[in-house]
Every structure is written in structure tokens, then in C-alpha cells.
Structure 1
Amino acid sequence: MSGLPIDVVLPELKETLRERISAVLVAPPGAGKTTRIPLALLDEPWLAGQKILMLEPRRLAARAAAGFMASVLGEKVGETVGYRVRMDTRVGPKTRIEVVTEGVLTRMLQGDQALEGYGIVIFDEFHERSLHADLGLALCLQSQEMLRDDLRLLVMSATLEAEPVANLLGIAPVLKSEGRAFPVETRLAAHRVEGRVEPAVVKAIMEALNREEGDILVFLPGTGEIRRTEALLAEQGIRTATASAREETTSNDPSAASWKSAPAKDIPSFSQQFGAGSDSLRQPQRIRVAPLHGSLTREDQDLALTPCPPGERKIVLATSIAETSLTVEGVRVVIDSGQMRVPRFSPRTGMTRLETVTVSRPSADQRRGRAGRLGPGVCYRMWTEAEDAQLKSRSTPEILEADLAPLALELAAWGVDDPAELLWLDPPPAASYAQARTLLQQLGALNLDGNITAHGRRMGELGLHPRLAHMILQAIPLGDGALACDLAALLNERDILRGDRLADADLRLRLEALHAVQEKTSPPHTVDLSTSRRILAEAGQWKRGLDLKQSTHTEDVGLLLAFAYPDRIAQRRPNGRYLLANGRGAVLPTLQNLSSEPYLVAAELDDQGSESRIDLAAPLDLETLKQHFAAQISDEHLVEWDSSTQSVKARKRERFGALILRESQLHDPSPEEILHALLQGVAELGVDKALPWTKNARQLQQRLHFLHRADPQNWPDVSDEALTRTLPDWLGPHLYGAKNLNAVSRLHLTQLLESLLTWEQQRELEASAPTHIAVPSGSRIPVDYSDPESPVLAVRLQEVFGLPETPRIARGRVPLLLHLLSPAQRPVQVTRDLASFWATTYFDVKKDLKGRYPKHYWPEDPWNATPTNRAKPRN
């Protein structure tokens, strides 16, 4: 076996693990860490014949790593080196190295917290920061601390920031290895890619076929983009080949099952579109397209990984699965769309959706490095220099954005209530974790104390999302266990219907098509056969494990979905849209058979906007809902204010979450309930609009407000806000037995406000805040208390002749603000100091008024003049 860069650090790594129980290794792609290190550690003395457990983030990488290590030993997989992945295990009695995927590691830890028989756990590609990798490391650290002080932990990564991990492992040593990579020329786009990325990718592919040597590895965000790119390449005469003759669908298109020699087409090139290089054309070549993603069969995945025969080239269309761990033989060119698909969980809605995001800088660099494994290479990037400068420095760890229900169930099974009991690089967000535990309680996995139940342990043993595990376990006593397994496997995979997805969301159609594939009859729709067979294989494994008989009926699909998604049981609204039990709105995108169903269960929604689009659903009968969810249905007696009729309504309801299943009139509400609802109506309308205010009532309120402001201990607060807060105290006794606002309109509000005062306060009210002030002319002038800080007396100037001082209120403590008016009732002076006005300003005012009102009385001596409420005093 030829030397690899990792070989240089192997002696140091061995020495470190002899002295320490933890270490961190940083080595770039191509260094050989995945396949070299487990073999190098086999004979270490501290291992003492125990096994090596290596965690890989993906099934494809786990199988490939195990296969390569076995070939190095000249053995078959399952002898010294084996693997355990979902639905596929190859280990034997002599196996010393087990390569496992993340969910498998968690199951092994739950079965044996001490991991007896294993001497080291290696976390490969830890920089991907998957939820299960973070969980696995946290559990291993606690096991190491409490049960196995001899258990070694080795964290390996290509781009990881090593210091935080080293600190988490107890200041573990950090070892670094140089990579072996040839130079890679990077070509950026001259212009931003608008719209879908596939046309630009195909142009880059054609350019690379014309200009470059070797195979091409194309990174695309998901299987949808891969299929569309395949179709565009087929238009150029470049077909897709698979190990199974590419039997993708039930269509009879012969070109879908073959590949052929094809010349490079003279289409607009990457250089023309993106400004890089020339556009020389090569001779016709034998070219095949090989998709690479996690949902393909193992044979088809292997076809993408193996080198081409001489004279052939391949174009590998891959998701981010090809970023790390895997070596795609023969690649000299990488074309990077710059996008990847990640799950995003919304605590607000409780739903997870796949979101296409821009890759981070480390991911982009890892992708580019794939072109330099065998020799100098080229990387075409579908983004501009400006966009390149904005790439994030790191990817967001999945634990911060994922659905935490599986994590919460695993921790409960481990015996941990609070995640803070474990060590994390990034602890689970509190809101998402609390929501996950609430869901687990709703599914019966946790009791009211938060401890795991027997049902919860059985859910955890199935290794499925808690929703799907609960669904299967609930279905078995009903005789629907086999159907539930089919449904769970179907929901775990991408949609098997081609082209019909948005036209019809009915999950029963998918099950019928799946069962047609199983029975080898013609399905009624265009079906993805490869995915269908994988679904059937996975469902079959669960059925065998649970000893369930095969079933193809679909009558109870809605009920089974309701077990899994009780929060997404939906009720049809009058406008044709739906209301979910969690309170969210939802809508079917097109008119279809399900559109008339009064109740649905939405298995998949897009979580966009105020109303989510329902992508997958099944109908649910109301009586079935009541029968199986009786414990969650509550009876409500509601006596509440109805703003539309301005009256109190009494209703009796059956409620499931936000859904009102049945409503009828409540005939015997108590008077207290009616009164409470009526007062709510007054508060909702506002006391300023709901109460029968008169001029006298408002003046009384303002007078009391003036006194309360000056002496809040002895005078009540009767502001609108205070009256609203105390409605039951002062208004409630007068509305007992009333049902609408008519009774309110008949109230005498002045009397009600006066009733808030004692007899002594009523007497003091007249003395301290009189309604009127008598002026020298004999008139009684009303006091304006609308501004409690400054009550106003607006009086004609001629009526206060002879008044030496400003009138006062509040037992002489507060001077009134005088608005001295002209004969036309317009202010000519505003003052609190009448004496000063007579002495100074009056004479200027008199001169002006005498000119405008010459027939009126304007004496030279205002102190001794005769006051009058006429133009001139009577003789």
C-alpha cells in the first residue's frame, strides 16, 4: 500500500493514545485518515483485543470505508473489518473494526452504555456537526467519565476548529496532518446566476468536456436538481447509466435506460457565460452520467464511485454526500453549484422543511479539493467573486436548527432530563428542546413528570423518528401494523410519484402505487421504481422485526397519520382552507379530491407564509378522531362577549387543540359568567364608548381626577384606565342579570361615580373642586377641569372688574388659570395673577378693546369699576 500523508503522524497518534484517552486529529481530504488510522491502531497494547468503533456520517461512506480497509487486508467485508448501517449489517465473529453510521452508534450506546468490548470510538468527519454525531460524542463522554475511564475517543476532521473540541475532551492533544493535493485552478462566474442553477451547470459541464481531461464531479443541492440536470444533459445526447439499466420510472423511454457516445455540443460555453478561457471543441467521446446521492441503490452508488474504462468519461451528479470521506475515482474537474440542502426546524410551527442554502467556505474548499486528488485539476464555481467573499466561515451545527424530538427521546432513554447534564460543543436550544419534550408527552413517550415511559422505550428501540415509531406501535393492536410500516418508510423517503406531487397530495395514492410495485402490477401513476423498492425493503425489515403480516389496505391511513401528527390534524374552513390543530393555517395548492374533505391529517407542509401548503395528507373521519383521541378532546363551556352582535353568547364546545369539533348553545350559564362576559365587552369597546357619558358625568370625572392627582391617598382614581381595571367593583353590581349593552345605556353614570365617594368626600368635593365660581358680575362661571394640572376659569373681562385677586380652589391651594375673554368670547389674556394684570397689562388691553368695542364699558380704574355681564353696567 503506497504511502499517504497521514502516515507521518501515525507514530505520534499511537503514542498520544497510549498516554491519553482522548485526542483530536485534523487532516485534510485525501490524507488517508478514514482508512489508515483504524488499521494502524489494531495492534495497540491498550486495545487489548477489543474492537474499534468508527462513526461515519453517511451509509455510503461507511460501506466504502469498510470495503477499502477489507481490501487492504485481502479480506471480504465482515471478517476483520465490517460495518453496521441502517438496513444493512456485515460483521462477523472475527470483526475487530466496525464502521457504523450515527443512528447505529446511538442504538449501541443505549443498549450498552459502557460499550463493553470496544476500546476506542472514532468520530470521522466530525466537522459536519450532525445532530447524531454531537449526541454520540456527548453520550460517549459521559460513559467515559462514569463507566469507562479506559475508553478512548478520537475526533477526526478535515476542517474543524480543533480547540473547542479539544477543550470539550478535557484539553485533549491536537494532531495535524498535511494533505496531499495537487493544485486546483478555480474559475469563478463573471455574472450572478439568476433563476435555477441547472442550465448554468450544464453549460459548465459542456465547457469542461471540451477543455479539460478526466471525469467531472458536479455538486448539486438535491435529487430534484440532479434529475433536471440529467434531463438537460440528455437533450445534449449525454445519457444516464446505472447498474440496473436505469429503470427509474414506469415510462417506456428507451433512452432512459442507456448511455451512448455523444459529441460535445456547440452550446454557449462556460467561458462565454462566465468569462473564463477559450472554447475549443474536442472529438466525440464516450460519456456517461452517474448520479450519486443517498437514496440510490448500493450498486448505482458504486457505479458513480468506480473509475471508467479506458476511453470513457463520466459525469457524477452528486449531493453533498461526495464532499467528504468518499473518493470518486478519476475526477479531475469539480463543478460546484454553491448550494446544499439542509433541514430547518421551526419551533414556531413545529415543522421541519428542507431549505436550499449557500455552502460555507470550508464546504466550498472541500468540494474544490476533490479535483486535486489525482493530479492538477479545475474547479468551476457557479458564483461570482463578490459572492465568494461573502461565504460563511463555518456551517451551522445541525443541533441548533434541527427537530430535537429524536434527541429528547434519546436523552430520556439515557436517563437525562436536562441536556446541561452532558457536555456539548453547542447545547440544544432551550425553546426547541422544550417543544420536543412537549411533543413526546403528547405521544405518550414521557409521563407528566418528564420521565420516559415503557411506550417511550419501545419507540426508541425502533430507531425511527418518535412520531413514526409511535404511529407503528399504535397501529399494531388495530391490525394496521404492516400498513404503518409502509407508511413510515414512505414518509422517510422522497415522493415516489413523478409529476403528480403538486396535483394531488393524497398519500393513499402513493400507498396504492407502492403496493402495485410490490405485487408487480401496473401502478396507476408514473412511479419512481428505485425509490419504491427501497421503501418496500425498509418496510419489510420493520415488519419482520415486529412479526407483522403483510397488508395492502389503505382505509386507515388518516388515522395512522393522526397518531404520528396529532398537531397537524386539519379542519376545513368555510373558505376551503384548513386550520391545523396547532393553530396554523394550511391550504391545498390545487383543487383535488381531498379539497372537499372536512378533516385531513397533513403529513408534510412547506411551512411558508401565513398558510402552509399541504404537500402530503390523508382524510380523517370525525367519528374516528373522537374514538381514538377522546383523551385529548376537551369540553368547554364558553360564556363570552360577541362583538358582532354586541351581546353575550353562551356556547358549549368540543375542542381538539385549536379545532372546534362541535358547538351548540349553552342554555344555563350562570349569572356570574354572563356578568363577566358583559364586562369584558365593555372593556373591549372601551369605557369611553361603551358607557353613557353625559356632560355632567365627564365633568365629575375630571373634578375627581384633579383631586386624585393632588391627593392620591384620599381620592379615588376614576381615569378611563382605572375604571376599566375596576369594572367588576363599581359597574358589575349594577349589571347583574343583563346580557347586552342596552342595560349599560340606561345607567346614570354621574350617580355611579358619586357612589364611589363617602358622604364626607362628597361634601369636600364641592368645597375643593366646585363646578362653578361666582364672579363679581353675579354670574356663576363653570370651571374646566379637563387639564387636572391647570383648571381653567374662562370669563369675560368685564365680569371681574373689582375682583382684586385670582379665584382659588382646593381650599385656596390652587389658583385657577384665568382666560379673560373679549365681548366676542375670545381670550385676550391668560393669567394666574389677576392683581398684576390690573396693575400693568390691563391698560394696553383696554386700549385695544376700546378700539374694537367702542360701545362697551372700559373703565380707567378696574379695581373699583362696576362689573357687568352686559355691554355697560345698569344705571
Structure 2
Amino acid sequence: MTKDMVREKMNELPIRRVLPELLERMRSGTSAVLVAEPGAGKTTQVPLAFLNEAWLSGRKIVMLEPRRLAARSAAEYMSRMLGEQPGETVGYRVRMDSRTSRRTKIEVVTEGILTRMLQSDAGLEDVGMVIFDEFHERNLQGDLGLALALESKAVLREDLRILVMSATLEAEPVAALLGDAPVVNCPGRQFPVETVYRPPAAGSALEKHMAAVIREASAGHPGDVLAFLPGKGEIRKVQAELESGGVPAGFVIRPLYGQLPQKEQDAAVQPDPEGRRKWILATSIAETSLTIDGVRIVVDSGYMRTQLFSARTGMPYLATDRVSRASADQRRGRAGRTAPGIAYRLWSHETQNHLRSRNAPEILQTDLAPLALELAAWGVQNPAGMAWLDPPPEAAYERGRELLQRLGAVRRDGSVTDKGKRMAEIGLHPRLSAMMLQAEKLGQSGLAAVLAAILQERDIFRSGAGAPPDSDIRSRVQAVRLWEQKGFAGPNADEAGLRRIVQESRYMQKQLEAELSGPGDIEKSGLLLSFAYPDRIGQSRGGGKFLLTSGRGVELPREQPLSRAAYVTVAAVDDKKGAEGKILLAAPLSLEDLQQHHREDIVEETTVDWDPSLGGVKARRQVCLGAIVLRESPAGQPPAEAVAQALLDGIRAEGLGLLPWTKQAAQLRQRLQLMHEADPDWPDMRDDALLSRLEEWLLPYLDGLKNRSDLQKLQLVPILEQMVGWDKKTRLDKEVPTHIAVPSGSRIAVDYSDPKQPVLAVKLQEMFGLHETPKIGMGRIPLTLHLLSPAQRPVQITSDLASFWKHGYFEVKKDLKGRYPKHYWPDDPLEAIPTRRTRPQ
């Protein structure tokens, strides 16, 4: 495309209509929000429009793009508009790739680059304007970059211009964050796009269905196909499915995802040199920023890959989730950038109605250790004082800061250490930065760089070509070394991944400003990983199961050599389901290395615990690293207080059944519970209430006891009586008596098993002459009478004795008189003489 053709195309873009307003807003103020629909041209036109503004004063413009491919593409497109090459007026900087020079006035960078720029020069003295593009993606680094830039503007550079741009963004909250900045709206140049819902049949594999729809759409409509899939694994499966069915003449398959080499990414984005139609199989990398000429068909799986953080385990994990409506609309819009198109959605209308409106901001659901480190290096200990669209969640932020303390990056007060400053400069996750710095001291930086690169890459052993041989990360290190030496690492290895690992590892070593070191001792892999994951050092529990220092249980997916290791460091875990995480990558760790290099975290202590297998208290001297016990031996006589507390722990663990509940003790407890039901000032006798207050009522009586047998010596009646004191004990005997005197003169025990319905079981003949049901508990609780036959079997259950005498007695009398003719069955029970004998004396 010639320079004149580029300019002609540029003049047709909708953004040209609002550029005068935007320029005026930035002349009269220092902040603005631009909402421009897809296809408007904001990414490539806006930075160029500001090049000759007087307020720029020789400074440069920095524009953030969330993705590397979009950053490079934008810089290359703007350079073509100017008839130049990237690195002249317009350049870019992304990780491991840079095209800039002294002439560069516009730098397109990824968000981590801006953070590094701000950390090294808080005032951004050579920058006149910062543009945040595609801000609706709400990446963690984007939110952080904006927060730091706003603080720099408020404290050091009030003239710094900040422009936030997005295709789909609720502008008002962002405008308010920028100090009530003006909002400029620009319609897009969107051609009509037909939407077709095509969910797969029940039981049909998504990949097969996707391949079938791609073929169908290509046959019925013109243009290239852009198919959205959640990740590289799904892209490979769809590619294999398409290839197995034969790729028609005039078509070519082009994968597109972040880990692809730049040459292959360019092949997917640019027109095919042979004029073939493209089947582009992409992740969400193609959702925004990129305009891929020729795409008129979109096939959307409706899924995306997101990294989430498990608060339960403290471990990150990748999750495949439904896209939001906003993302689905962005994907659909790709088909109408340059001509009318069609979008196939592989889900139903009903599913569409239930999609969430927008993706959750990354800051609300990811590991915040990197954010906490950057803020500590910036000099901020409490993020609440900064400007955020969504402030970091307190609990997640505190977890991140606790990890940084463990890694030696911050002090207890949250201030950054010298080590933390270097970790921030390296720009990796704090775990990996800590490993790199420790490895440098041991002369193992080459090995550490390879390990770090492996951990940032998908597993180089393809699952599609058979399961990975094992979970030992050393086999991956060996594959990398073999590929470096011979250019081949076996049919099960991903050569593109190997190439990226080698490039990344060399780049990381240069970041340390050290010469490339040798390959290092592969047997130190577990030790190096332990500097990154001190909370994931694991001790074998047998059978491939390990207990981590964090207290979490993990296990290997199957029997393998690593199963026999006494200690391992776990670098990657699948924690999506099951009580124990599945180890994906780990390496053995020698006890000698562990004790030498983690001695500051190893503590020696005497533990006194309840041992259920012994049925008593066990005292041990333990050498511990976190939750794992490295060594233990019997301890001497432990303190009496510790033994008593261990007994209480045992009772809480096994229940109150450990105590000797005699018949009298059980009845007293039930009586007290009845009083509690009537008056909350009386103690609650339920299990959970007694267990929660063991220290109050039981601890004083445990002196000298140490096991289950000793507990059986306790006298619970006086212990429970002591809970209420003498005055209440007297009242208890009055209001909730153990026995009731009945008309016959007998004293009958009351059954308080159900405190809400106490029972008096008494022979019917002993109740003659009593008009009303006996009541207890301040006369408010009628006893439930179990009226018994001479054979002690219930013939009537009632809590209304008067009604029984009037209505029920005569039927009962007929039956009893027939069965017990020698007994006394008067016609008038209220005038009869009560008796506990066959007949009254």
C-alpha cells in the first residue's frame, strides 16, 4: 500500500470528525476520555493528531496497548502513514522487542513498560502525554499504570496530559476519576453484521462443531474467517480437525495467539501473499485493537481463558469461562470492519440472555503480589489513598503483601527492601524475580532463567501427542538444553515453545545485567524453585502425596519417579477440583539444601497435642518449616497449662462424649437446659455452647489429667452445679425438680431428655384424685404425662390431665378392667383413692 493510499484510507475514518474537538479539549485541559466504536480508527489516528501540538514542547507521546501484537501493529501502521519504518517518528517497546530511536515521538508500549518508565522516572520528564488505549479490558497493569500516572500528575507533573480511550466503556466513572474530564464520543464505521446462533448438538465436541461451522460459513459467504477460541490447545484441536477433513484449494489456516513467533502472527494479520482466503484461529488477542483486512466472517466459540486466584489455596489457576456480552459484541464487530459480514455464535439465544454484561476487572480476581510490589517500590504502603476505578480488595492485597514479606521484598511495615527494588526492576512476577536474584548469588542464573521461562510458557510437552511423561520440571529443562544443542527435542515437544523459552531465558539474564552464565546444575532445580515458592515446599506423605509448608495437600497425578522424593518444590498445581491439588510441575529438593538455604524459616518448638490414636496428650519436640515437620522427638514433661489445653482440644475434636456423663450428670444438664430455654440468663447446655466455653467451666478441673481414662474420673455433677452457683442451684431444685410427688405418695423421676417437653411416666392409678397436670418452671411448663398400665406400658400420653379424666379415662378403664380385673378401676377417678398397689389399703 502506497503512502497516498494510506492517507486516503486514513481520511475516510470516522475518528477524523471528532479530532478537532479532541484537540481542543486537550489544549484547554489536561485530561479527556474518548469513546470510539470499533473501526473508528482511534488507535492509529489519535496519537498522530497530537504530534504538532504546542503543549507537547518537544516531549513524546506514550500510548499503552494491552497486547504485544496490537502494540507492534499500531506502530507499524502509523509508520506507514508517515512513509517511515517503525523506530523513526513512531516506535514501539514490548517485552524482548523494541524499535525506538532519538527521533521517536510516539512510543506504543505494553502496560508493564509504562510501569517501569514511571518507577525509573516518576515525573516522566520526557513525556508530554500518556494514552491508555482499549482501557475497557481493565487489565491489572492498565489500572496500575493509570493510578501511578494520576499520582505523578497530581504531585510532580500537573501539565502531563492523560487520555483514556476505549471502544466499549462506561465513560462517566473514568471521567470522574480523571477529575471530571470531558468525554468525546465517536461513532464507528461499522458495516451491517448478521448474527446467527448455532449451538452444538448435545454431546458434540466444540472443536468438531467449530470446524464444521467454519467450512459451512466459508462456502456460503465471502471473505476471511476469524474464529475465536479460548486458548492454544483448542486452536490446535480445531486446526487438526480442519486439516483432517482437507483444506480446500484457495484457503490457508493461520493460528493467532500471544506465544506465536512474530512472523506467524504477522502472517495471520496481513493479507495472504498468494491471495488465499484465511481461516484465522485466534484467542481473544484478536478481539480489539487489531483490524484484520479481509475478515467478513466471525465464528465465536463464546469462551475465553482467564487467570483467577484461589483464596482457598493461595494459588493462581487458569479457568475457561463464558465471554461477556461486551466481549461477544466486540468479536461480532470484527466481521463488519471493512464490509458487511456475518457472525456465527456457537451458543443459543437463551445463553446469550444470561451472559454477564462485562468482564470482571482483573484487579478484583487475580494475584495481587505484583501490584503490591510495584506500589511498595513506588513508596505506597496503603493503596486506599490512590485513585482507582476499582480499589484492590483488601484481603487479596494483604495476601500479596504477606508473600512479599516471605520473599524478603518488603518489611513488616510494607516498605520496600533493597531486594524488593531489584525484584521490581526485573519485571517478572515477584516469585520468579526472587528466584533469579537468589540464583545469581549461587551462580545458577542460567538455570533459574530457563526455569522462569518454562513457568511462563504452556507446558512444552504436548498433551495432544500423549500425556506429558512426568511432572518433573527437570525433564523440561533437559528438553530445552537438547533443543539448544541439536535443534530437536523429540516428537512430543513443542519447538515453538522451546524457542520462546530460550529467547526469554536469555532476555532475563540480560535484565540482571550479568553475563550469560552456564547451564547450571539441573539437580538444583528444586532448590531454585523453593526461593520462588517457599510456601510450596512439600514433604512426602507416601503414595505421591505431599504436604506443603502452607498446610495444603497436593498429589502427583500418577505413579512416577518423583513419587519417591522425600521433599519437592511444587511450581504449578491444578487446583480446579478435588480436595488435593494435582501437581503439574515440581522438582525434588534435598533435605540438606532445604536446611541450609531456608534455615531462617525453620523453627524448633515443643508441641503438646491431643493424639486420637493414643487417646491422650502427646508432647513432642519438633523442627518445622511452616506446616511440615522436618524432625521430631519425644519431649520431657510439658507444662501443665499446655497439657490441659491439649485435653480441651481433644474434647473439641472428638466431642463431649469423652466426658463421663452419668445418669445424674445427664439429667442435671437437661434440667439446666430447660431453665435456659425459659430464661437466657441461665447457661446454655447444648454441645456447641459447652464446647465453646470449655475454658470457663472445665479447665479448672483438668490439673493432673492427660488422657481419656483420666477424664473418666471427673465428677460432672458438681462441676455443672458450680457453673450456676448456690442460689441458682436452690432455684433449680424448686423450679425444675428431679422428682415429682404424685397423689399416691410416690416420688417419680422426671425425664428431661427433651428440655422443651419434660416427661413424667407414672402408673395411672397413682394419679387418681389429681385434677390438673403438674407444672414446673415457674408454673409455665406442663409435664407430659405417660400414664402407665400395671405392666408399666403407656396407655395414654397427655399434657391435659383434666381433659383425660373427663373424656378419655372411661375408654381406657374398659380396656384395663378387662386385662387387669383384680386392679382398682373406680368410676370417678377424681374422688378415688390413689394407689401404687393393686387396690388401695
User: Could you say which residue in structure 2 is the equivalent of 1:256?
Assistant: none
Matched, 1:569 2:533: no
The answer as to whether partners of 2:543 and 2:563 remain within 8 angstroms in 1 is no
Q: Name whichever of 290-299 and 445-454 sits farther off.
A: 290-299
Matched, 1:204 2:173: no
Matched, 1:629 2:593: no
User: Could you say which residue in structure 2 is the equivalent of 1:9?
Assistant: 18
**Which of residues 281, 294, 305 in structure 2 aligns to 1:341?**
305
The answer as to whether partners of 1:652 and 1:663 remain within 8 angstroms in 2 is yes
Q: 1:652 to 1:117 in 2, by over 3 A?
A: same
The answer as to whether partners of 1:497 and 1:525 remain within 8 angstroms in 2 is no
Alignment partners' CA distance in 2, 1:446 and 1:624 = 25
Alignment partners' CA distance in 1, 2:289 and 2:423 = 32
Q: 1:710 to 1:106 in 2, by over 3 A?
A: closer
Alignment partners' CA distance in 1, 2:549 and 2:718 = 49
Matched, 1:654 2:640: no
Alignment partners' CA distance in 2, 1:776 and 1:151 = 98
Q: Name whichever of 587-596 and 434-443 sits farther off.
A: 587-596
**Offset of 1:92 from its aligned partner?**
1.4
**Which of residues 567, 581, 594 in structure 2 aligns to 1:599?**
567
Matched, 1:589 2:531: no
Alignment of 1:725-744 (within 5 A): 735-744=702-711
Q: 1:863 to 1:207 in 2, by over 3 A?
A: closer
Alignment of 1:474-623 (within 5 A): 474-498=438-462, 499=465, 502-520=468-486, 522-523=488-489, 526-546=492-512, 547-553=514-520, 554-610=522-578, 611-623=580-592
Counterpart amino acid of 1:654?
V
Matched, 1:361 2:325: yes
**Which of residues 435, 442, 461 in structure 2 aligns to 1:471?**
435
Alignment partners' CA distance in 1, 2:609 and 2:311 = 31
Alignment partners' CA distance in 2, 1:197 and 1:424 = 39
Alignment partners' CA distance in 1, 2:138 and 2:415 = 28
**Offset of 1:149 from its aligned partner?**
1.5
Q: 1:817 to 1:177 in 2, by over 3 A?
A: closer
Alignment partners' CA distance in 2, 1:22 and 1:605 = 44
Q: 1:19 to 1:866 in 2, by over 3 A?
A: closer
Alignment partners' CA distance in 2, 1:873 and 1:566 = 85
User: Could you say which residue in structure 1 is the equivalent of 2:288?
Assistant: 324
Counterpart amino acid of 1:445?
A
The answer as to whether partners of 2:544 and 2:559 remain within 8 angstroms in 1 is no
Q: 1:532 to 1:800 in 2, by over 3 A?
A: closer
User: Could you say which residue in structure 1 is the equivalent of 2:174?
Assistant: 165
The answer as to whether partners of 2:489 and 2:495 remain within 8 angstroms in 1 is no
Q: Name whichever of 128-137 and 810-819 sits farther off.
A: 810-819
Q: 1:641 to 1:290 in 2, by over 3 A?
A: same
**Offset of 1:14 from its aligned partner?**
1.0
Alignment of 1:348-497 (within 5 A): 348-497=312-461
Q: Deviations over 1:253-281 (max 9, x none)?
A: xxxxxxxxxxx3xxxxxxxxxxxxxxxxx
Matched, 1:83 2:83: no
The answer as to whether partners of 2:443 and 2:517 remain within 8 angstroms in 1 is no
**Offset of 1:757 from its aligned partner?**
8.9
Alignment of 1:282-301 (within 5 A): 284-285=249-250, 287-301=251-265
**Offset of 1:468 from its aligned partner?**
0.5
Q: Name whichever of 739-748 and 32-41 sits farther off.
A: 739-748
Q: 1:38 to 1:821 in 2, by over 3 A?
A: closer
Q: 1:579 to 1:326 in 2, by over 3 A?
A: same
User: Could you say which residue in structure 1 is the equivalent of 2:244?
Assistant: 235
Q: Deviations over 1:586-632 (max 9, x none)?
A: 22223222122222222112222122222211111122222211222
**Offset of 1:563 from its aligned partner?**
0.9
Alignment partners' CA distance in 2, 1:309 and 1:840 = 104
Matched, 1:673 2:635: no
**Offset of 1:862 from its aligned partner?**
8.1
**Offset of 1:679 from its aligned partner?**
4.1
Q: 1:509 to 1:170 in 2, by over 3 A?
A: same
The answer as to whether partners of 2:554 and 2:583 remain within 8 angstroms in 1 is yes
Matched, 1:94 2:100: no
Q: 1:454 to 1:204 in 2, by over 3 A?
A: same
**Offset of 1:459 from its aligned partner?**
0.5
Alignment partners' CA distance in 1, 2:240 and 2:764 = 95
User: Could you say which residue in structure 1 is the equivalent of 2:837?
Assistant: 870
Q: Deviations over 1:358-386 (max 9, x none)?
A: 33333333333333333333333333344
Matched, 1:188 2:200: no
User: Could you say which residue in structure 1 is the equivalent of 2:83?
Assistant: 74
User: Could you say which residue in structure 1 is the equivalent of 2:46?
Assistant: 37
Q: 1:852 to 1:157 in 2, by over 3 A?
A: same
Partner of 2:297, secondary structure, is strand
Partner of 2:486, secondary structure, is coil
Q: 1:549 to 1:742 in 2, by over 3 A?
A: same
Partner of 1:383, secondary structure, is coil
Partner of 1:582, secondary structure, is coil
Counterpart amino acid of 1:676?
Q
Alignment partners' CA distance in 2, 1:292 and 1:704 = 73
**Offset of 1:557 from its aligned partner?**
0.6
**Offset of 1:42 from its aligned partner?**
0.8
User: Could you say which residue in structure 1 is the equivalent of 2:59?
Assistant: 50
The answer as to whether partners of 2:214 and 2:299 remain within 8 angstroms in 1 is yes
Alignment partners' CA distance in 1, 2:790 and 2:352 = 80
Q: 1:97 to 1:501 in 2, by over 3 A?
A: farther
Alignment partners' CA distance in 2, 1:854 and 1:97 = 114
Q: 1:866 to 1:513 in 2, by over 3 A?
A: closer
Alignment partners' CA distance in 2, 1:536 and 1:148 = 40
Under a length normalisation based on structure 1, what TM-score does the superposition of the two structures give? 0.85
The answer as to whether partners of 2:546 and 2:555 remain within 8 angstroms in 1 is yes
**Offset of 1:731 from its aligned partner?**
5.4
Alignment of 1:694-709 (within 5 A): 694-699=662-667
Identical pairs, percent: 56
Partner of 1:134, secondary structure, is helix
Q: Deviations over 1:415-460 (max 9, x none)?
A: 2222221222222222221211111111111111111111111100
**Offset of 1:872 from its aligned partner?**
3.4
The answer as to whether partners of 1:192 and 1:383 remain within 8 angstroms in 2 is no
Q: 1:743 to 1:158 in 2, by over 3 A?
A: closer
Alignment partners' CA distance in 1, 2:782 and 2:346 = 80
The answer as to whether partners of 2:678 and 2:777 remain within 8 angstroms in 1 is no
Q: Deviations over 1:274-297 (max 9, x none)?
A: xxxxxxxxxx43x33322222222
**Offset of 1:142 from its aligned partner?**
1.7
Q: Name whichever of 780-789 and 594-603 sits farther off.
A: 780-789
Q: Deviations over 1:536-559 (max 9, x none)?
A: 222212223421442223121111
Counterpart amino acid of 2:617?
V
The answer as to whether partners of 2:426 and 2:511 remain within 8 angstroms in 1 is no
The answer as to whether partners of 1:336 and 1:381 remain within 8 angstroms in 2 is yes
Q: 1:86 to 1:856 in 2, by over 3 A?
A: closer
Partner of 1:613, secondary structure, is strand
**Offset of 1:777 from its aligned partner?**
5.8
Partner of 2:542, secondary structure, is coil
Counterpart amino acid of 2:837?
R
Alignment partners' CA distance in 2, 1:295 and 1:49 = 36
Under a length normalisation based on structure 2, what TM-score does the superposition of the two structures give? 0.88
The answer as to whether partners of 1:502 and 1:590 remain within 8 angstroms in 2 is no
Larger Rg: 1
Alignment partners' CA distance in 2, 1:455 and 1:297 = 33
User: Could you say which residue in structure 2 is the equivalent of 1:136?
Assistant: 145
Structure 2, unmatched stretches of 5+, are: 1-6
Q: 1:634 to 1:851 in 2, by over 3 A?
A: same
